[in-house]
Amino acid sequence: MAYTKPSPTSSPRISEFQMKEQMCSIGRRIWIKGFCAGNEGNHSYRIGENRFLCTPTGISKGDLKPDQICTVDGEGKQLAGKMKRTSEFLMHAAIYKARPDVNAVIHSHPPHATAFAIAGVELPTCIHPEAEVFLGPVKTAKYVTPGDKRLGESILPYVMDSNTILMGNHGVVCFHKDMEYAYYQLEIVDAYARILLLTKQLGSVNTLNGEEMVELVKLKERFGFGDPRMADAKKGQVACSTSDYMSRVSGDIGSKGRMSSNGGTCPVPQPSAIERAISSLAPAQYSDADVEQLVQTITDQIMATAG
Ligand SMILES: [Zn+2]
């Protein structure tokens, strides 16, 4: 894995025009990756004490031009630009206000991560090292109508602990001191969500164990990344959040013994309601193998009848 220090591309030393060009280039990458359909999404850059660049409303992020980028203040008042600013800038403003270290905010609707935000399934931790290092624990904010002023309020409970937040039934917002890194987070959160969906299809999940997690969280300090679990990692323990996702995987595979949990941090899959019902009806002298055979036979019969 190639972990690198943040690049200097969005240092305040680059000109405002270069920042606008970088915003257009990020927009193109977002559109090519399929993270924003139609005119969805918006991103912004902090360029001064109370000055920000942001994308205009109603335009594809795949074809942005530097002269279409708007300049606004922290209240969202437009200071320059021929097009109207995005209606969601106030959410960006809430992040900039809460996090003086943040210089770039990107909001979009990457399909795999957004699927988790729609299903109401928290992204699990303790599974994938890239997700741990670049994202850490990712929370889901409650749904608010897109463009509404309350969008900022909905994400505020999570902005101090993470640079990536899922927005309930809506999408993702990523932020960082560096525009390029904010974009990396966007790609990584969607790639991670996609990997989780593919893993679910395969039917088993190996989790990282406690020692591996402590190592990863400590590694973040060396890269200059914060993590709310750092203090715990230094004490030698990191809490994992896997159950929400694991229950979906185990729901698919039942209790056939294919679930794997190296670190013992994920729950063992529970039998489905029908399997529990069949087990409770089985004669007392039946062994576990007999019960499993009985469950399989009855399930097969049910499936054959249903078919
Ligand atoms: Zn949106």
pLDDT for 302? 64
Tell me the pTM: 0.78
- Cβ pair 206, 246 in contact under 8 A: no
Query: What is the 41 CA–ligand 1 centroid distance (Å)?
Result: 5
Q: Write out the residue limits of the CATH 3.40.225.10 domain(s) in the chain.
A: 8-202
SS3 assignment for 196-231: HHHHHHHCCCCCCCHHHHHHHHHHHHHHCCCCCCHH
Ligand 1 is a single-atom ion; what residues have CB below 5 A from it?
146, 171
For residue 218, give both structure tokens. 């400590």
Could you give the CA distance from residue 87 to residue 105 in angstroms, rounded to a whole number?
14
- Cβ pair 103, 11 in contact under 8 A: no
Query: What is the 240 CA–ligand 1 centroid distance (Å)?
Result: 29
Q: For 8-202, which CATH superfamily applies?
A: Class II aldolase/adducin N-terminal domain (3.40.225.10)
What does the pLDDT look like over 278-304, one tens digit per residue?
666 777 677 767 777 777 776 677 666
Query: What is the 169 CA–ligand 1 centroid distance (Å)?
Result: 10
pLDDT for 279? 67
- Cβ pair 137, 60 in contact under 8 A: no
3-state secondary structure at position 88: coil
- What is the pLDDT of the chain when averaged over all its residues? 86
For residue 94, give both structure tokens. 């809430």
Query: What is the 27 CA–ligand 1 centroid distance (Å)?
Result: 14
pLDDT for 102? 97
For residue 92, give both structure tokens. 């960006």
Cα dihedral 211, 213, 214, 218, rounded to 10, equals: 140
